Amino acid sequence: MSRVQGARRYDLALFGATGFTGGLTAEYLAGHGPAELRWALVGRSRAKLERVAERLAAAGSPAPAPDLLVADAGEPASLAAVAEASRVVLSTVGPYALYGEPLVAACAAAGTDYADLTGEPEFVDRMWLGYHEEAERNGARLVHCCGFDSIPHDLGAYFTVGQLPEGVPLRVDGYVSSNARFSGGTYHSAVNAFARGRQTLAAAKRRRAREGRPAGRAVHSAKAGVERRPELGGWAVPLPTIDGAVVRRSAAALDRYGPDFTYGHHLVAKHLATVGALAGGVGAVALLAPLPPARKLLLKAKAPGEGPSEADRARSWFRVAFVGEGGGRRVLTEVSGGDPGYTETSKMLAESGLCLAFDDLPPSAGQVTTAAAMGDMLLTRLQRAGIAFRAMERHGESGEGGPGGD
């Protein structure tokens, strides 16, 4: 169980349940939550919450019906009431840099575990600077990036490390491929992140100055470059998302990653022209987003909260291949699943919340990664939920086991 007092009214509260991804998360919790789950849906509009609850009831979901709580990111007292009544709070309300801080503050103050779907580096760094120490004092776990950003990458690297020898320098490279498109929320978060480039760099610099490095161990980012990888189906190019930083923070927190750990994060594209088009598009957004009139037009291109049809989601997939090396051994592993931006992301967040609420987890507090906070327990949950973690190939000495031991 979570270390938060069991006497609290709710095991879990879901903030943002009336949005597209929030609604999918609510449906997953209703369909997969335990019979004893005490939970609540949280949002700004009671009428919209009631419509979500009616949809869950019509589906005949096995979990108990949730309570409905009205709260607003602009009203900190309402968020404090939710945090104080809950053992775990999940948030799907982004862009997090604009709307997320009050809920993190409320959870840190109340000693309540918190998880979200952010992929925004500035937000994660600012929350560490502002609330990590308070959360540590109060026993709260603040776990960001609990969707496609960054669970497949973080737990995939964790799983890969578990196939390699202990106590030796290790290198892991992750290679991401998918046919899915970005969600409206992800798009808005990315545009706002480009608009806040200076703030992002400043927050990262302040965090580096305060956080320090693991004693007696080293963690590195692999050198970036573009290379042809036929065995992976195309070209591998550096992918400068938050995922690589999350993996490296897990490595800094967990001794199992060895005395010297290096991680590289890459996107796989079939054709070099695709890489050029992608780079050009990202570059254009990066140049235009800091300009208010241009940013306004960019944000109008895709509304937050909108998402594809169930049929479109059913056709979507993702795959992350990992190559791990160390101690004379080389291993290939893979994490794969369905639609990453919506279906699997809502599943990952929901299972993270259930894991924090009900599983016997290793001691941790403050801002922690999914691997450091939940590790093997969350890995097992996701495998049971249909997200595959596979050891594909192994060269050298054989062996089994996860990063927790053989």
Q: Which tokens sit at 16?
A: 């943002």
Distance CA 133, CA 113 (A): 14
Cα–Cα distance list, 356 to 32, 197, 201 (Å): 15, 33, 31
Say what the pLDDT of residue 401 is: 39
Domain boundaries, the chain: 10-148+344-382, 151-339+387-395
Is 181 within 8 Å of 308 (Cβ atoms)? yes
Residue type (1 letter), 135:
A
Say what the pLDDT of residue 5 is: 45
Nearest alpha carbon to residue 234 among 266, 264, 271: 271
| pTM for the predicted model, two decimal places | 0.89
Place of tokens 């979901």: 61
Distance CA 134, CA 366 (A): 7
Nearest alpha carbon to residue 403 among 311, 303, 288, 322: 322
Q: How crowded is residue 380: how many other Cβ atoms within 10 Å of its Cβ?
A: 16
* Length, in residues, of the chain: 406
Assign 169 to helix, strand or coil.
coil
Say what the pLDDT of residue 81 is: 98
Is 331 within 8 Å of 393 (Cβ atoms)? yes
Distance CA 181, CA 277 (A): 15
Instruction: Count the helix, strand and coil residues of the chain and give each as a percent rounded to the nearest 5.
Output: 45, 20, 30
Q: How crowded is residue 283: how many other Cβ atoms within 10 Å of its Cβ?
A: 11
Homologous superfamily of 10-148+344-382 in CATH?
A: NAD(P)-binding Rossmann-like Domain (3.40.50.720)
Say what the pLDDT of residue 37 is: 96
Helices (H), 36-120: 46-58, 76-85, 96-99, 101-110
Provide block-wise average pLDDT over 10 residues at a time, the chain (406 residues): 65 95 96 95 96 93 92 94 98 92 98 96 97 98 96 98 97 91 64 77 94 92 87 86 96 97 92 64 65 73 68 87 96 95 95 98 97 98 97 59 39
Distance CA 23, CA 348 (A): 14
Place of tokens 């602009």: 74
Strand runs labelled E in 246-287 = 260-269
Residue 134 CB contacts under 8 Å (≥ 6 apart), including other chains: 108, 109
CATH code, residues 151-339+387-395: 3.30.360
